[in-house]
């Protein structure tokens, strides 16, 4: 697709050159050149429209910019997880009270559900606006297999339960095989709206990567000795992960339901982790044109062998189905985290490539 975009520009340019030529038939050639330029512009417009049409589906949740909430708790560097959990539970309860007092009963009810009757464990909580939340499932301090889930568009405090459900499903699947597992649901950035222009560019991903990288560095000090961290990156979250620099503690980066990353290959990602990619047979995002035009779109499809990621089978999963209990996609994601997975297909990476 990227090559096709280059061809469009070349065709338009050559048409303009023909139109500048003098001599017999120059008028005809000029008209032909103008038609070529118009056709080139039309093709570019249509490609951009196709990207928008494929990505924009009517599942957007309303943002809540006016919801009052306390400022997030600021912790000293190295603060223990359990101290963070207690402080953030108090902040969550206060946010629910403030939302209720302001007549935002829907948000208040959702915050109370998030509190999980006082048992929720949040490393980060910010109830303002669309919100931020980083929740832990499992015993982080003893875990030697830690998974960080990075969500895609329209994940906010108002839609948090669907994100949490995936994290719980993964944690239950991991613990059935490896009790020293923990899952971190990282809603640590302002996700773009599915029905928005921001979902077509990497701006939000760049901002998120600047938050995710330091979080991963700090997470290493909260886990068990010798722990392995896996990044599981869904949809627009794969754009975030592809821009996040990671250290040696991150052993695997998994891109699923991805619209692309903006990178031409796995070798271009700022990580030494093994890079995996998979897409379910029922995922509508497979219809997204993998083009990049003027900063719009994300280029090479990560499941394309030319990208160089390790492929894993996601079965018939739809875009929101990858972490549902009993699915092939969940089983294979768990196997990657536990280090028991083998690539589903041979990729173009070599044994010397750190991503292989």
Tens of pLDDT, residues 3-31: 333 232 322 333 333 233 333 344 444 44
Q: Are strands 132-138 and 145-150 parallel, antiparallel or unpaired?
A: unpaired
pLDDT in tens, 44-90: 443 444 444 444 333 333 445 678 999 999 999 889 999 999 999 99
Distance CA 96, CA 91 (A): 9
- Count of CA atoms in the C-beta half-sphere (13 A) of 86: 4
Distance CA 261, CA 292 (A): 10
Element (H, E) at 176: helix 160-177
- Judge contact between 320 and 273, C-beta under 8 A: no
Distance CA 145, CA 77 (A): 23
pLDDT recorded at residue 222: 95
Sign of CA dihedral 201, 206, 211, 215: positive
This prediction's pTM: 0.80
Task: Provide CB contacts within 8 A for 210, sequence distance 6+.
Answer: none
DSSP labels, 20-76: H--STTHHHHHHHHHHHHHHHHHHHHHHHHHHHHHH--S-PPPP-TT---PPPPP--
User: How many other CB atoms are found less than 10 A from the CB of residue 36?
Assistant: 19
pLDDT recorded at residue 206: 94
The parts of the chain modelled with pLDDT lower than 70 are 1-65, 195-200, 293-294, 297, 345-356
Reading across the β-sheet that carries 250-256, which strands appear in turn? 122-126, 132-138, 181-187, 145-150, 228-234, 250-256, 274-278, 310-311
Distance CA 317, CA 320 (A): 8
């Amino acid at each position: 697709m990227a090559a096709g975009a280059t061809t469009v520009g070349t065709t338009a340019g050559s048409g303009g050159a023909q139109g500048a030529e003098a001599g017999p038939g120059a008028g005809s050639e000029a008209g032909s050149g103008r038609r070529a330029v118009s056709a080139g512009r039309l093709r570019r417009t249509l490609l951009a429209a196709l990207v928008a049409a494929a990505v924009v589906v009517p599942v957007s949740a309303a943002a809540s910019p006016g919801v009052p909430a306390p400022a997030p708790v600021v912790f000293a560097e190295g603060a223990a997880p359990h101290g963070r959990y207690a402080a953030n539970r108090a902040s969550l309860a206060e946010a629910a009270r403030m939302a209720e007092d302001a007549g935002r009963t829907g948000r208040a009810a959702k915050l109370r559900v998030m509190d999980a009757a006082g048992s929720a464990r949040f490393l980060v909580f910010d109830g303002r606006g669309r919100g931020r939340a980083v929740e832990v499932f499992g015993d982080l301090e003893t875990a030697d297999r830690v998974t960080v889930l990075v969500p895609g568009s329209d994940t906010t405090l108002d839609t948090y339960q669907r994100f949490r459900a995936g994290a719980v499903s993964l944690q239950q699947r991991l613990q059935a095989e490896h009790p020293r597992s923990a899952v971190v649901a990282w809603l640590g950035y302002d996700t773009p709206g599915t029905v928005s222009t921001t979902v077509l560019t990497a701006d939000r991903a760049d901002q998120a990567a600047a938050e995710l990288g330091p979080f991963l560095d700090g997470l290493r000090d909260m886990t068990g000795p010798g722990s392995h961290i896996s990044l599981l990156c869904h949809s627009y979250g794969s754009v975030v992960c592809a821009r996040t620099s990671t250290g040696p503690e991150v052993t695997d980066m998994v891109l699923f339901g991805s619209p692309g990353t903006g990178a031409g290959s796995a070798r271009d990602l700022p990580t030494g982790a093994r890079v995996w990619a998979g897409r379910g047979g029922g995922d509508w995002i497979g219809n997204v044109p993998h083009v990049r035009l003027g900063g719009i779109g994300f280029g090479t499809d990560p499941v394309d062998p030319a990208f160089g990621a390790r492929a894993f089978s996601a079965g018939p999963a739809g875009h929101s189905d990858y972490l549902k209990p009993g699915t092939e996609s969940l089983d294979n994601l768990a196997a990657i985290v536990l280090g028991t997975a083998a690539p589903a297909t041979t990729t173009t990476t070599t044994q010397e490539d750190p991503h292989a």
